[in-house]
Amino acid sequence: MPAPKYTQDQFDEMAALRKQGLSHRAIGVRLGMSASAVSWHCLRLGADSPNTKTNLPANGGPMSCTRNGVFVRRFTKEEDRKLLGMEATGASVAQMAKQLGRRWNSTRGRLMTLARHQERAENQHQQKWT
């Protein structure tokens, strides 16, 4: 198995910088990573910018598009519902991906995104009552 590409210190610094409000690009330049790698790892770590804490998901834009020559389709509300249901029953990410006809990494990323949206909604609710 190859050595990890990034160190725990880099992940810790990445999360701290994101929580200070730096963009994915600025963090990537500082740490020698691509902006997309920073974006993925911040999603994985649950590291949000304070500027996006109150942003909740919007349902806009096309359901599918082509990005860099690759066909991409957004997850539907029905797929999100199925994902959360399968996760609650203990299904693996591979099983969920197969069931939805999606790739493993897209499914994992969507689960992390849904968790982040839930956390933001809970934080907003708590702020209203404090």
pLDDT in tens, 36-78: 899 888 888 888 887 765 555 555 566 777 777 877 788 899 9
3-state DSSP assignment of residue 10: helix
Q: Please tell me whether residues 41 and 73 are part of one structural domain.
A: no
- Average pLDDT rounded to a whole number, residues 81-109: 94
Q: Please tell me whether residues 32 and 88 are part of one structural domain.
A: no
Q: Please tell me whether residues 37 and 84 are part of one structural domain.
A: no
Q: Please tell me whether residues 40 and 70 are part of one structural domain.
A: no
Instruction: With respect to residue 51, please indicate whether it lies within any of the assigned structural domains.
Output: no
Q: How many domains does the chain have?
A: 2
pLDDT for position 108: 92
Q: Please tell me whether residues 120 and 80 are part of one structural domain.
A: yes
Instruction: With respect to residue 50, please indicate whether it lies within any of the assigned structural domains.
Output: no
pLDDT for position 124: 72
Instruction: With respect to residue 2, please indicate whether it lies within any of the assigned structural domains.
Output: no
pLDDT band with cut points at 50, 70 and 90 for residue 34: very high
Instruction: With respect to residue 82, please indicate whether it lies within any of the assigned structural domains.
Output: yes
Host domain of residue 90: 64-128
